[in-house]
A and B are shown apart, each in its own frame.
Chain A
Amino acid sequence: MSAPTRSENPTRLAAHLRRRARWRWPEILFWLAIAVAIFAVPSRAALINEILIAGLFALSLDLILGLTGVVSLGHAAFFGLGAYTAAILSSEGIADPTLGLVLSSLIAAALGLATAPLLLRGADLTRLMVTMGIALMLGELANRNSWLTGGADGLEIAMAPVLGLFPIGFTGQRNAALYSFVVLFLLFALARRLAQSPFGLSLLAIRENRLRAGALGISTPRRIIAIYALAAGYAGAAGALLAQTTQIVSLDLFDFHRSADVLLMLIIGGAGNLYGGIIGAAIFIVLRDVISGATPEYWEFWIGALLVVLVLVGRERFAERVRRLLDRLKRPAAWEEAA
């Protein structure tokens, strides 16, 4: 790196501040690869759909955990609420998927807005317990009000075609995956834009040092409430997508393991960069699919092992070692080239 002269600084400064604004090739390839996969492997469209939905759910958790540093072990509350809202709307005659998705998302966001103030006090442990408690309460409410939710039987639902054109469900697995893909991409692009705004930077500041964020005049409670409500809306959208594309909802959507799994996916993929959740969801679900095919009931052992390695060794160091290993493999070729 050459030392910049003073006159270059404003450009260097502006470039630095906007360095993540442009979509880079790896990102574009990432999204293209998913779209290609949906068309190239139609037999696995249901699996891809599951990954995309889990990815949206993990993206939602990334907004609060990765960007803002607010922990949650009850994110399934919003996922389940979104799914049940979509199901109930369809049974009430609102069978249009897009409308159902928007309404479910808004209702989940409203619950996020209402419960976010509970997360402002106390430490991480408090927040883990509060979020977990809310998910438990919601699950029990769904269980008790079986007149609305079908109770332990769940609900089966029928959806109209997306935009009146593309039928989704068992006969339209590819359409379902495409529908989830478009929703994920749009919400991702929105989150990406948000993360690079002054608002998004202030979330990072809250994550990095809440005391100093307040000392800069940032109203940290308001920012946390705002992003929590948005994240809840995202989780609600993920839940609604699952309900609409699988056309069934059941009480396990509120289960603790949903909240724990999505946290696992995010940690495996890497929190704070928006892509980690989607990548983690893909690793998690593909591993489960592959390993449970070979040794059923045993796949969680390997997920557990991966988690221990990632957390203890650290993702950066792990990636660094892999990179060094690759460099060592590549080096002879480079040396021959030079010679």
Chain B
Amino acid sequence: MSAPALEARGLARRFGGLIATDNVSFSVQPGARQALIGPNGAGKTTLINLLTGVVKPSAGSVFLEGEDVTALSPSRRVRRGLSRTFQINQLFPDLSPAESLGLAISERNGSGADFWRQAGSKPEIVAEIEELLRRFGLEDAMDQPTHTLPYGKQRLLEIALALASRPRVLLLDEPAAGVPEEERRDILAALAALPGEVAILLIEHDMDLVFNFATRISVLVAGRLLCEGEPAAIAADERVRAVYLGEDAHG
């Protein structure tokens, strides 16, 4: 059997006395459509930061396609095929979408440090930028400064940038967060059209989106993995209902 695309083994992280991540082991298979859900404060953000290398674990390890990447920096992990989007847009406000995508592509194919070549002089990179712009409906805005784009377009660029690194595992952190209703459909269409061979872990609050998208769901509660399974099983799980109903009762 081939190795999982992404695997966490006994991952733990303490911040002083607080245990944000408590012995989490789980895996994402190649090409999976998996979701990670959990109430506020369940430790989803910390878990993403552990997986991408922004935060070092107190214990445990992270494997990417069977290789231990626990010691690697975030940018190294990206070059190994682990890419992510951000819950709050992390874009380059004064660069255009075309320039931003060009950066990601050049970096991936090893020409990102070329200092003597004019940017835009490699036809294959230009063609790939063009392809990504078209796929995400960003053609009209391609040469505008990113900060002038409508919010929904910026959300699409978030995903396009992550995909430009040609990841084998893609972590999507609440891709539809804050997107107005009329632009939501574009995001959902973009998610549905993501390449099938890329393993995707969707971190999301929006249950409609989760149950539409995922074929497997992992539930995180208080830093621990509560349960995992197919959407129908998770929807029927008493413990999961208790957690969410409990949260609803408060909120």
Do the two shown chains form a genuine complex with each other? yes
In the bound assembly, the distance between CA atoms of A199 and B119 in angstroms comes to 9
0 or 1 for each of A209-237: is its CB under 8 Å from B? (1 = yes): 10111111111101100000000000000
**Which residue of B75, B108, B119, B140 is within 8 Å of A214 (Cβ)?**
B75
**Which residue of A9, A196, A215, A217 is within 8 Å of B119 (Cβ)?**
A196
Q: A10 contacts B130, CB within 8 Å? A: yes
Interface flag for B203 (CB, 8 Å): no
Main secondary structure of the interface of A (DSSP, over half): helix
Q: B161 contacts A217, CB within 8 Å? A: no
Q: B112 contacts A215, CB within 8 Å? A: no
Q: Please indicate the chain A residues that have their CB under 8 angstroms from the CB of B61 in the complex.
A: none
**Which residue of A6, A199, A220 is within 8 Å of B75 (Cβ)?**
A220
In the bound assembly, the distance between CA atoms of A17 and B83 in angstroms comes to 25
Q: B112 contacts A16, CB within 8 Å? A: no
Interface flag for B44 (CB, 8 Å): no
| Smallest CB separation, B170 vs chain A (Å) | 12
Q: Please indicate the chain B residues that have their CB under 8 angstroms from the CB of A68 in the complex.
A: none
Q: How many residues of A are counted as interface, with CB atoms below 8 angstroms from the partner's CB atoms? A: 37
CB contacts under 8 Å to B, within A167-215, are: 193-194, 196-202, 204-205, 208-209, 211-215
Interface flag for A3 (CB, 8 Å): yes
0 or 1 for each of B60-86: is its CB under 8 Å from A? (1 = yes): 000000000000011100110001101
Q: Please indicate the chain A residues that have their CB under 8 angstroms from the CB of B215 in the complex.
A: none
Q: A199 contacts B113, CB within 8 Å? A: yes
Q: A16 contacts B75, CB within 8 Å? A: no
Interface flag for A13 (CB, 8 Å): yes
18 A-B interface contacts by CB (under 8 A): A3-B140, A13-B98, A13-B126, A13-B130, A197-B114, A197-B119, A198-B106, A198-B115, A200-B119, A201-B102, A201-B103, A201-B119, A209-B92, A209-B93, A211-B90, A215-B90, A217-B112, A220-B75
Interface flag for B100 (CB, 8 Å): yes
Q: Which residue of A lies closest to B74 (CB)?
A: A214
Q: Which of A10, A17, A214, A222 has the most CB of B within 10 A?
A: A17
**Which residue of A16, A193, A216, A222 is within 8 Å of B78 (Cβ)?**
A216
Contact A208-B94, Cβ < 8 Å, known A199-B112, A215-B83: yes
Contact A199-B115, Cβ < 8 Å, known A205-B100, A216-B107, A216-B165: yes
Q: Which residue of B lies closest to A203 (CB)?
A: B115
0 or 1 for each of B88-132: is its CB under 8 Å from A? (1 = yes): 001111111011101110111001111111111100001101100
Q: Please indicate the chain A residues that have their CB under 8 angstroms from the CB of B121 in the complex.
A: 18
Interface flag for A14 (CB, 8 Å): yes
Contact A198-B113, Cβ < 8 Å, known A6-B139, A205-B92, A216-B104: yes
| Smallest CB separation, B222 vs chain A (Å) | 27
Contact A198-B102, Cβ < 8 Å, known A217-B79, A223-B113: yes
In the bound assembly, the distance between CA atoms of A9 and B108 in angstroms comes to 23
Q: Please indicate the chain A residues that have their CB under 8 angstroms from the CB of B47 in the complex.
A: none
Q: A202 contacts B93, CB within 8 Å? A: no
Q: Please indicate the chain B residues that have their CB under 8 angstroms from the CB of A219 in the complex.
A: 73, 75
Interface flag for A37 (CB, 8 Å): no
Q: Which residue of B lies closest to A217 (CB)?
A: B78
In the bound assembly, the distance between CA atoms of A205 and B100 in angstroms comes to 8
| Smallest CB separation, B88 vs chain A (Å) | 10
Interface flag for A12 (CB, 8 Å): yes
Q: A216 contacts B103, CB within 8 Å? A: yes
Q: B99 contacts A201, CB within 8 Å? A: yes
| Smallest CB separation, A117 vs chain B (Å) | 15
Interface flag for A290 (CB, 8 Å): no
Q: Which of B103, B143, B164 has the most CB of A within 10 A?
A: B103
Q: Which of A13, A209, A217 has the most CB of B within 10 A?
A: A217
**Which residue of A16, A196, A220 is within 8 Å of B143 (Cβ)?**
A16
Interface flag for B219 (CB, 8 Å): no
Interface flag for A21 (CB, 8 Å): yes
With A6-B139, A208-B92, A217-B108 given, name 9 new contacts (CB 8 A): A13-B98, A17-B98, A193-B118, A202-B103, A202-B106, A202-B112, A216-B75, A217-B79, A218-B112
Q: Please indicate the chain A residues that have their CB under 8 angstroms from the CB of B103 in the complex.
A: 198, 201-202, 205, 213, 216, 218
Q: A217 contacts B120, CB within 8 Å? A: no
In the bound assembly, the distance between CA atoms of A4 and B143 in angstroms comes to 12
Q: Please indicate the chain B residues that have their CB under 8 angstroms from the CB of A205 in the complex.
A: 92, 95, 100, 103
Interface flag for B133 (CB, 8 Å): yes
Q: Please indicate the chain A residues that have their CB under 8 angstroms from the CB of B96 in the complex.
A: 16
Q: Please indicate the chain A residues that have their CB under 8 angstroms from the CB of B36 in the complex.
A: none
| Smallest CB separation, A6 vs chain B (Å) | 7
Interface flag for B142 (CB, 8 Å): yes
Q: Please indicate the chain A residues that have their CB under 8 angstroms from the CB of B129 in the complex.
A: 13, 17
In the bound assembly, the distance between CA atoms of A92 and B216 in angstroms comes to 75
Q: B102 contacts A217, CB within 8 Å? A: no
| Smallest CB separation, B171 vs chain A (Å) | 10
By Cβ-Cβ distance, the 9 closest A-B pairs, closest first, are A17-B120, A217-B78, A199-B115, A208-B92, A16-B143, A212-B90, A198-B106, A217-B107, A216-B104
